Structure 1
Amino acid sequence: MLPEKMQSVKMLTDRLLEFPRVRMGHLPTPVEPLSRLSAATCCDIWVKRDDCTGIGFGGNKVRQLDFYLGQAVQQGATQVLITGAVQSNFVRVAAAMAARQGMGCHIQLEERVLDADDTYRQNGNVFLSRMLGATLYSYPEGEDEVGADARLFRLAQDLRSAGEVPFIVPLAPSSPPTGALGYVDAALELIQQNHFFDDIFVASGSSLTHSGLLFGLRALGNSTTVYGVCVRRDRVTQKERVRSRLRDLALLLDMPNNVLDADIRLDDCALAPGYGRMSTETEAAILKTARLEGMFLDPVYTGKVMAALMARTNKLRGRKILFWHTGGQPALFGYTNSFNDL
């Protein structure tokens, strides 16, 4: 590694060490070739296996919650409060990691998916969160992050009155992007694994994974193109969210933001028919990946990312591509009635 790159690695490593962290993830995660999928698409596709981060069925949220739970432990918390969609992977992992720390978990489930059936509401991540002992609440709005956080603060006051020490994992982008630190660290991990790619495809929802990864790569002088695949908002709206989170992350780390506006690449071709709902292309991408690679994707995040990648294969030939697998497989069991081509 060149001296200037070594200096960048040390600086970023030192900054991350200043933040409390619980380190529950099974890291580093492997980088593997997807040989059969590559042959079928005439592209050189690899995968970063963040579905293998371990605790609570793993996924990208483990890296984020390492830092949130680090704060919770530092503050002596006894209860963790968090909001997510009904089939949220974030809340399931939060419940698992809180249980490992001897904390209770209170989960507020937003109504983001219209006309959801009983399988969606009871199976998958909902079932696992209950198994982990979490207390579940319903929040009727799916696009009210500020209101959802305010409701958690009221729940936290009730818990505090009962003698508990609550810790809130916030949802709205007005809070510091603590979870993004997990993907700044993931960028370091990827560089240290000595794998180099032309393009990376990753889900962009809250944008903490996307913005953290992009910030970390550019801080390390790495110019790999990162495509954030929109799973909740269109690319224009999502781009402003990513911009904002990058600015916030630079403030949090007290570092310059080396991400140019042109570096923020958003693709919303797989977004329709909306959050948590599949198009025929997303369903086809999930089934093709399973049948060629024995690897499961979910309808909410990774299935859409793979669908977007497959839609670009003609333009990506001759390039080395990394598909960042952010997990989410338990949600599949909430969608068993949504697959048409089985």
Structure 2
Amino acid sequence: MQTLTFPPRQSLGLYPTPLQHLDTISARYGRDIWIKRDDLCGVALGGNKVRKLEFLLAQAKAQGCDTVITTGGAQSNHAMLTAACAARLGMQAILLLKARGVMERRGNLVLDDLYGARVRFVDTDSYDDIHAQAQQLSLDLEKQGHRAFWIPLGGSTPLGTLGYAEGVRELAEQAQALGFRPGHLVCATGSGGTAAGLFLGASRFLPEAQVHAVCVDHGPFRQITLDLAAQASDLLGCPAPDPAALTVESHVGPGYAVSAPEDSPRIRELAQAEGILLDPVYTGKAWSGMLDLLEQGAFDDRGDLVFFHTGGAAALFAMDLA
């Protein structure tokens, strides 16, 4: 296995996370399917953002920051996990959340409060507006003797992307120990960083694997993923991965952060067959999209399927399955 030198990171999660074979689901769909349980990473209700935050918050601490500002939707899993990790490091989290969706004190908003985050709702559809507010807030905090660190949507920066490049190294070691060959890596994509990390990591540690990003929002995610992977490659001093190894599929349904009726039976199926919970708007959509692709014959026989469970279970307590 190739070696890479990663930048410093802050230990936050409990790794490696479990890699679980889905016995019942595999038999039902006629294909070996595994699930990488990053929902069990040991922080809050788990999720993919913790791997990114290990690198991002290490940089924040190195810069002497005592406050973290980030953004997302009202029920943002990324924002909640940022609050959890910041609290653990003795930092204040300020969450600038879009005033859209479920804004009642349910789901992740309950957890934001438990972790001591300061939540501000911003009535806008533009993350540019939120970024401008974050810049002004940082200046105001500086006048008060604080130093703030800005984390963009989803932690999807070149540095944050390295979290899942490292995650693929972890997966490759587990798969080797278990005696199987991952041929297809599947994840939900809402801001591009996780898919970019898998794409970069696979090119170094599982070069025969194809990465499949299932989009849960509208946007140019293929180009976003390619750009993030290339920039993260520069940080590691290695070549950018081959674009042919990345497949991007859309499974947005009725809209971002809105559950789709056709996905609910598959969320229930996994819960009842394997005891695993998916949320209705991120992992649930990606899981359902993966099974659609499987039934359409989209996955060749290069190896087993590995689905990355990127968390989000709190959404089950904020919205109903469609």
**Could you tell me the TM-score, scaled by structure 2's length?**
0.92
Offset at 1:317?
8.4
Of residues 63-72 and 191-200 in structure 1, the stretch that sits farther from structure 2 once superposed is 191-200
Pick closer, same or farther for the CA change 1:176–1:254 going to 2, 3 Å.
Answer: farther
Q: Which runs of 5 or more residues in structure 1 are unaligned?
A: none
Aligned residues: 315
Partner of 1:285: 266
Q: Pick from 141, 159, 164: which aligns with 1:178?
A: 159
The residue type equivalent to 1:281 in the other structure is E
In the alignment, the residues of structure 2 paired with residue 287 and residue 25 of structure 1 have an alpha-carbon distance, to the nearest angstrom, of 28
Q: Distance in 2 between matches of 1:196 and 1:317?
A: 13
1:45 equivalent to 2:28? Answer: no
Q: What is residue 109 of structure 2 aligned with on the other side?
A: 126
2:97 to 92, 105, 109: 109
- Secondary structure of 1:55 counterpart: coil
Contact 2:154/2:193 (8 A) holds in 1 = no
Cα pair 2:47 2:312 within 8 Å, conserved: yes
d(CA) in 2 for partners of 1:320, 1:176? 29
Match of 1:262 among 244, 247, 252: 244
* 1:192 matched to 2:179: no
1:225 to 210, 214, 225: 210
- Name the amino acid aligned to 1:180: T
Question: Counterpart of 2:311?
Answer: 327
Q: In the aligned structure 2, how far is the partner of 1:170 from the partner of 1:277?
A: 22
| More divergent stretch after superposition (191-200 vs 55-64) | 191-200
User: How far apart, CA to CA, are the structure 2 residues paired with 1:160 and 1:220?
Assistant: 42
CA distance in 2, matches of 1:220, 1:339: 37
User: Cα gap change, 1:220/1:40 in structure 2, threshold over 3 Å: closer, same or farther?
Assistant: closer
How far apart, CA to CA, are the structure 1 residues paired with 2:114 and 2:289? 34
Which whole-Å CA distance do the structure 1 matches of 2:194 and 2:216 have between them? 13
Corresponding residue for 2:278? 297
Give the root-mean-square deviation of aligned CA atoms: 1.9
* 2:232 matched residue in structure 1: 249
Q: Would the aligned equivalents of 2:78 and 2:154 in 1 still touch at CA under 8 Å?
A: no
Residue of structure 1 aligned with 2:57, choices 61, 65, 69: 69
Is 1:163–2:145 an aligned residue pair?
A: yes
**Cα distance change, pair 172–310 in 1 and its aligned pair in 2 (3 A):** closer
Report SS of the residue matched to 1:20: coil
Q: Which residue of 1 aligns with 2:66?
A: 78
Structure 1 equivalent of residue 294 of structure 2? 313
SS of match in other structure, 2:181: coil
TM-superposed deviation, 1:182: 0.5
SS at match of 1:56: coil
Aligned-residue offset at 1:176: 4.4
Secondary structure at the residue paired with 1:81? Answer: strand
1:205 maps to what in 2?
A: 190
**1:20 aligned to which of 8, 24, 43:** 8
Partner of 1:31: 19
Distance across 1 between alignment mates of 2:154 and 2:58: 20
CA distance in 2, matches of 1:290, 1:188: 28
Identity within the alignment, %: 34
Q: Any idea what SS the aligned residue of 1:198 has?
A: strand
Structure 2 CA distance, aligned partners of 1:304 and 1:324?
13
Structure 1 residues 145 and 254: CA distance shift in structure 2, 3 A? farther
Match of 1:154 in 2: 136
Q: Is the 8 A contact 1:200 1:321 kept in 2?
A: yes
Structure 2, unpaired ranges of 5+: none
Distance in 1 between the 2:137 and 2:44 partners?
Answer: 24
